[in-house]
Amino acid sequence: TGVFTDKDKAAAHLKGGAKKVVISAPSKDAPMFVVGVNEKEYKADLNIVSNASCTTNCLAPLAKVIHDKFGIVEGLMTTVHSITATQKTVDGPSMKDWRGGRAASFNIIPSSTGAAKAVGKVLPSLNGKLTGMAFRVPTVDVSVVDLTVRLEKAASYEDIKAAIKTESETNMKGILGYVDEDLVSTDFVGDSRSSIFDAKA
């Protein structure tokens, strides 16, 4: 549900009979894992873990490939994010922020995101190097992350595309995708990959 995001509250599921709990949102105190990035650090004795957020699962594999190959000095990410269950169907009060209380189905709503900070938790070498924001938009599925970075090593866009394409076909196959077709968001509904790089965007 993404409702119980700290270890103490998530532990209630263990009392209810669950053997393991995966928190489907970033957590302030549970170990965080993103497949393709740091899942090899998982230990079997961890009963409560966080799988971060959908945005983090999109951003982290891409950031890892770019950072490993070219080195990221700093970066800015913007996510154009589909509606979530926490948003309002009509204008109303929001516990989080004023704009968050506006109707989701016919507004573009600027919002905060913890994805950039969460990437620093699963990729410590990027801790503090990324920042970002979100725009909530009236679509029901599929979100996009735009990542702009300053690199340590000089690289052309062709170099970056080649590195991502190689990883998408080898080490990150099934996790990181690569497309060079003229696709739109609904073309990705049901896709099981965490992150798909759009080479033509």
Residues 39, 58 contacting (CB under 8 angstroms): no
Classify 3 as helix, strand or coil.
Answer: coil
**How many other CB atoms are found less than 10 A from the CB of residue 89?**
9
Catalytic status, residue 58: no
Among residues 30, 54, 104, 164, the one annotated as catalytic is 54
Q: How far apart are CA 5 and CA 98, in angstroms?
A: 23
* CA geometry: angle 54, 56, 59, nearest 5 deg: 115
Cβ count near 165 (within 10 Å): 18
Please state, in angstroms and rounded to a whole number, the distance separating the CA atoms of residues 57 and 35: 8
CA distance 75 to 184: 25
* Catalytic residue IDs: 54
